[in-house]
Amino acid sequence: MAKYVFVTGGVVSGLGKGITAASLGRLLKMRGLKVASQKLDPYMNVDPGTMSPYQHGEVFVTEDGAETDLDLGHYERFIDEDLNRYSNLTSGKVYWNVLNRERQGEYLGQTVQVIPHITEEIKHFIYMGARSSGADVLITEIGGTIGDIEGQPFIEAIRQISLEKKRDVLFIHVTLVPYLSGSDEHKSKPTQHSVKELQSMGIKPDIIVTRSDRPLSRGIKSKIAMFCNVPVDCVVENTTLDTLYEAPLMLHANGLDEVVCRELGLPGAAPDITPWLEMVDRIKNLSKTIKVAIVGKYVSLHDAYLSVRESVYHGGYENGCHVEILWIDSEKVCQENAKEILGEADGIIVPGGFGDRGIEGKIAACQYAREANVPYLGLCLGMQVCVIEYARHVCGLVNANSREFDPNGSELVIDLMEEQLAVLRKGGTMRLGAYPCKAAAGSTLARAYGKTEISERHRHRFEFNDHYRKQLEEGGLLVCGESPGGEVVEAVEVPGNRFHVGVQFHPEFKSRPNRAHPLFREFVKSCLE
């Protein structure tokens, strides 16, 4: 029978509930337990798929094609488990499901209310998360901050679960303990008020994780324990760190996993932290440095490319190299200034995106990389940009673009292929989730993976237009990856360059800090050459 850990946050947002939940998951996995994670978001969007990246950062895609909150990326990178459609729930999806059932008569004419119908829908989702994963421990993060009106149905739902599952449920509350330099002391009052608010909703936290920039004294921990009605060892310190991946080690040193196992009656074997400790030590002692330009249109919010950023770092870790990222606004790049803007970069990445804003700057960046023989990695839209650039400047298709096209005309490149796509969305088609790919033997793609049969996650609407494949291949572009039947082009590369690869999929979703994705590992390696 699964155990349930619920992680809430208080005082302010952005305290790192997701990293706390992910770190706990890693520690429990180190103890030999099977772990799964969930994120419950109170906003009314059905999912983040149609939201601007400036709202909640990147959209993370699971193996089964769910478009989810970026925190699921943290979960997967830390616990190294593939999550699924039962890993992210929004208020919008809850109300959507309940209202559809009401319209279909499933409630037999009842008055549909927040309690029990909305809360039952939330509880069903949580229970399905445990059942579908077969986890020993399901860790569920509640988005937002205690006191937010939109989060109340979620809090009520987990309160009910604590009654139904009794000793199989544990509550962790992550809260801010600010330091006032004027009086040279930490203040516990915000935590006290946050816990009081949580208790007024019927939930007593079992563990309080304190976020602070400085270590807490024994006295302040004892004060928090007394006023919040928990044992002193259940006040767990979470201080700001130099590297994200040090968080599990820090929380372990402060006893988080030991207390969780004690409170839930889980097996008490000490975790084997040695491999993670060695990884963190490697991260903190990187001997080389390179600069990688990420050329996109959302670069003012780095979380819009969170998985790309982390994957580049992972590639650096495996190559003993610190990666300094240059965030380049693609709208400010053109053929005339590309060298000036990108000249200090040892490598260039063009990540995914939608819409035509900033496309010409990305094409200019790709052209500069190809002509200057600077390593280039194009992700999703970055592959389409790679094809467009090659078609324009090598094959003479000067009008190449990514519009819907007349196959008898002179334009390129990317065709809507509805028979290949599964999910109807926003009036168009969307290819989501894991699809197989066959890498061409001897290609950069195949050498990176060390095999020719691969599977990667997708999130895109447009496809390579096969009408121009022969012309592009005769011009020197190598189609190095395609679907098993050859219907869909999945990857291209420019032979002769150090590294010039574009892939239609999103390899960043499968990279791990202790196991970099092969494409990012080889990309960084080429940047060092």
Among all residues, which ones are annotated catalytic? 380, 506, 508
Rg (CA), the chain: 25
- In whole angstroms, how far apart are CA 138 and each of 9, 53, 81, 162, 199? 18, 28, 12, 13, 22
- Whole-number Å distance between alpha carbons of 69 and 124: 20
- Whole-number Å distance between alpha carbons of 118 and 4: 20
Q: Count the alpha carbons within 13 Å of 359 in the hemisphere toward its beta carbon.
A: 18
Please classify residue 46 by burial: count the beta carbons closer than 10 Å to its beta carbon, then call 0-12 exposed, 13-18 middle and 19+ buried: middle
Joined tokens for residue 240: 């700001």
96-111 as b/e: b if 16+ CB within 10 A: ebbeeeeeeeeeeeee
CB 174 within 8 A of CB 10: yes
- Whole-number Å distance between alpha carbons of 224 and 512: 36
Name which of 87, 78, 138 is nearest 511 in CA terms.
78
- Which three-class secondary structure string do you get for 32-85? CCCEEEEEEECCCCCCHHHCCHHHHCCCEECCCCCEECCHHHHHHHHHCCCCCH
- Whole-number Å distance between alpha carbons of 315 and 508: 11
Tokens 């097996």 found at: 267
List residues bridging with 437 in a β-sheet: 454
165-202 as b/e: b if 16+ CB within 10 A: eeebbbbbbbbbbbeeeeeeebebeebbebbebbeeee
Phi then psi for 228, rounded to 5 degrees? -105, 5
The phi-psi region of residue 348 (left if phi > 0; otherwise alpha if psi is between -120 and 50; otherwise beta) is beta
Joined tokens for residue 330: 């693609």
* Cβ-proximal residues to 99 (8 Å cutoff; 6+ apart), any chain: 112
